[in-house]
Chains A and B, each alone.
Chain A
Amino acid sequence: MAFLMQIFGTPNFRRAGESAIVLDCEEYDQATQQRLGTLARAAQARPEVREAVVGAGNLTLLFDRNVTTYDALRDELERAWVNARIDDTAVRTIEIPVLYGGDEGFDLRTVAQTCGLDEGAVVALHSDAEYLVGFVGFLPGFAYLDGLDSRLHLPRRTQPRTRVPAGSVAIARSQSAVYPFDSPGGWHVIGRTAQRMFDPDREPAALLQPGDRVRFVAV
């Protein structure tokens, strides 16, 4: 047990209002996100937990104050954190087909120029990498993907676009993402997928869950 504590460090806990508890980790890496994802899924199955949301190196539970307390949940989370078994073989790898460049990836040329690469190299770097779903937020099914090659790291656009089309595959800073809906957005769009990232008729509705691995495949 001491060994596990050493690997993962001891998380900090804090309150956020009357009915939320936040578990904060020092680290934001694949092992941490997988562990947080495991805890979140276990928590979601419990009736006293209204929401269980993974962030970047943190997990927030919104709980029913009539059924449980902050202190009780903190003790349980501490134990669960230490005892969580991460089954690496159960990690899903999801392939997302992408049409890069052209009208669909309207920022590919600019990204290539800014990074000092040709367009083919940008596509190769983006589709060779394996990504990890850090967390989901911003929009239903919008997954923040870590693992972007450092040669493609760029700040967000200074002027966000008022409309980025659904299915746009984009990069910003050290992350990649797919826009599930037409929405405003400040990321650089390098391609588009026909894969539905969010479908209310599917279970689960969001294609990507924290801890999943993702590969982009050029079509």
Chain B
Amino acid sequence: MSDRTIVVERPGLQSLVVDRGRFGLRHQGVGWCGAMDQRSYAIANALVGNPHGAAAIEIVLGDIVVLFESAAHFALGGADCAAELDGQPVATWAAHAARATSRLVLRRPSAWMRTVLAIGGGIDVPLVLGSRTTDVIASMGGFAGRALRAGDRLVVGTASAEPQRAAIEPPHVDLVLRTMAQPLAAHLWGRAWTVGHESNRMGYRLKGNAEPHDIGAMRSHAVFPGFVQLPPSGEPIVLMSDAQTTGGYPLAGVVLEEDMWMLAQAQIGAQVSFVEYTP
């Protein structure tokens, strides 16, 4: 184990150790979890030279302070939190060098929801059922199976490659989600939806001019992130990274896996729509 460490001085709203996810165990009721914004996660890891799948920290709405106790490269992807390293601005979507004793401060972002902090060598937490990601429902994986708290000291692995020198262009978020139709798809198309307050890592609850339906619960069936459930209210629930493995609501659609990172970046109150995708 490496002796390189960082300390969380201010944890923010919900900061989690994440990776791609915990796969192949949904038949045992184990959700994927993993980074909500898989795109920013992949980019931030690539910027610091990490292999895809290295564990990073996903931060909700910034407001976090991290102290480097060892020199390391790091990169930020996702929401721009006007980050500063020892008082100097550092750009999102680029790799930077931190010294031992460097302090990284993220503020609350004005747009987007989540920021991924990747560190060269990755966050070194034990693999649990094949993944380092936090499952907050089962309290397993990540750092002690929970969101980070002030004072947590995390071990950083040994970097295997050099960081990239060039910054990259930020990806563009377009909240028109490409969606494959399921039986109740007519309830989705052509309506403007708003991300509701009860949205979280399990599901995004959308509000809007919904058309209720009287189709009762179906027999329980497998559900996955990206599935759009339609409760009787007609207001869709888009299942996210931490989604449960089975559900009984009728389905209205399945959002393309490639588009899910954009929904993960939608703040409460953001406007979302669905457009039919046919392969």
The interface of chain A, by Cβ under 8 A from chain B, is 15-20, 22, 28, 40, 44, 50-58, 60, 62, 135-142, 144, 180-181, 183, 198, 200, 204-206, 209-210
What are the residues of chain B within 8 A of A141 when measuring CB–CB?
A: 28-29
Q: Quote the shortest CB–CB distance from A49 to chain B (angstroms).
A: 9
Distance of A17 Cα from B24 Cα, bound (Å): 18
Known: A18-B254, A50-B23, A200-B128. A140 touches B227 (CB 8 A): no
- Tell me, yes or no, whether B30 is within 8 Å of chain A by CB: yes
User: Interface with A: B5-13, B70-78, B186-194, B216-224, which one?
Assistant: B216-224
Q: Would you mind naming 20 contact pairs between A and B with Cβ atoms under 8 Å apart?
A: A15-B180, A16-B227, A18-B254, A18-B257, A20-B224, A51-B23, A58-B219, A58-B222, A60-B222, A62-B224, A136-B28, A137-B245, A138-B246, A139-B29, A142-B29, A180-B29, A180-B138, A198-B29, A205-B25, A205-B129
Total contacts A-B at CB 8 Å: 117
- Tell me, yes or no, whether B244 is within 8 Å of chain A by CB: yes
What are the residues of chain A within 8 A of B222 when measuring CB–CB?
A: 20, 22, 51, 53-55, 58, 60, 62
Distance of A54 Cα from B221 Cα, bound (Å): 7
Q: Quote the shortest CB–CB distance from B64 to chain A (angstroms).
A: 27
- Tell me, yes or no, whether B175 is within 8 Å of chain A by CB: no
> Smallest CB-CB separation from A22: which chain B residue?
B221
Task: Say yes or no: B138 contacts A139, CB within 8 Å.
Answer: yes
Q: Quote the shortest CB–CB distance from B254 to chain A (angstroms).
A: 3
Known: A51-B24, A53-B27, A137-B246. A17 touches B221 (CB 8 A): no
Q: Quote the shortest CB–CB distance from B10 to chain A (angstroms).
A: 27
What are the residues of chain A within 8 A of B182 when measuring CB–CB?
A: 16-17
What are the residues of chain A within 8 A of B180 when measuring CB–CB?
A: 15, 17-18
> Smallest CB-CB separation from A54: which chain B residue?
B27
Task: Say yes or no: A60 contacts B226, CB within 8 Å.
Answer: no
Distance of A17 Cα from B254 Cα, bound (Å): 5
> Smallest CB-CB separation from A20: which chain B residue?
B224
What are the residues of chain B within 8 A of A58 when measuring CB–CB?
A: 219, 221-222
> Smallest CB-CB separation from B247: which chain A residue?
A137
Q: Which of A16, A40, A135 is within 8 Å of B220, CB to CB?
A: A135
What are the residues of chain B within 8 A of A22 when measuring CB–CB?
A: 221-222
> Smallest CB-CB separation from A17: which chain B residue?
B254
What are the residues of chain A within 8 A of B251 when measuring CB–CB?
A: 16
What are the residues of chain B within 8 A of A210 when measuring CB–CB?
A: 27
Task: Say yes or no: B221 contacts A206, CB within 8 Å.
Answer: no
Q: Which of B24, B135, B140, B244 is within 8 Å of A50, CB to CB?
A: B24
Considering only CB atoms and an 8 Å cut-off, how many residues of chain B contact the other chain? Answer: 34
What are the residues of chain B within 8 A of A138 when measuring CB–CB?
A: 29, 244-246
Q: Is the interface of B mostly helix, strand, loop or mixed?
A: loop
Q: Which of B128, B135, B254 is within 8 Å of A16, CB to CB?
A: B254
Distance of A20 Cα from B279 Cα, bound (Å): 13
Task: Say yes or no: A137 contacts B29, CB within 8 Å.
Answer: yes
Known: A18-B279, A137-B246, A200-B140. A55 touches B219 (CB 8 A): yes
Distance of A17 Cα from B26 Cα, bound (Å): 17
What are the residues of chain A within 8 A of B224 when measuring CB–CB?
A: 17, 20, 51, 62
What are the residues of chain A within 8 A of B128 when measuring CB–CB?
A: 200
Q: Which of B26, B28, B244 is within 8 Å of A205, CB to CB?
A: B28
> Smallest CB-CB separation from B130: which chain A residue?
A200
Q: Quote the shortest CB–CB distance from A33 to chain B (angstroms).
A: 12
Distance of A198 Cα from B219 Cα, bound (Å): 24
- Tell me, yes or no, whether B144 is within 8 Å of chain A by CB: no
20 extra interface residue pairs, beta carbon distance < 8 Å, beyond A53-B27, A140-B29, A140-B135 = A16-B251, A17-B227, A18-B180, A50-B24, A51-B27, A53-B245, A55-B246, A56-B220, A56-B221, A58-B219, A60-B222, A135-B246, A137-B246, A140-B30, A140-B138, A200-B128, A200-B129, A205-B28, A206-B28, A206-B29
Closest 3 CB pairs of A and B: A137-B246, A17-B254, A53-B222
What are the residues of chain A within 8 A of B221 when measuring CB–CB?
A: 22, 55-56, 58, 60
Distance of A181 Cα from B139 Cα, bound (Å): 9
Q: Which of A18, A19, A56 is within 8 Å of B219, CB to CB?
A: A56
Task: Say yes or no: A53 contacts B26, CB within 8 Å.
Answer: yes
Interface centre among B24, B29, B129, B244 (most CB of A within 10 A): B29
Q: Mark B133-172, 1 if CB is under 8 A from A, else 0.
A: 0010111100000000000000000000000000000000
Q: Quote the shortest CB–CB distance from A201 to chain B (angstroms).
A: 9
Q: Quote the shortest CB–CB distance from B26 to chain A (angstroms).
A: 5
- Tell me, yes or no, whether B210 is within 8 Å of chain A by CB: no
Task: Say yes or no: A181 contacts B29, CB within 8 Å.
Answer: no
Distance of A136 Cα from B28 Cα, bound (Å): 6
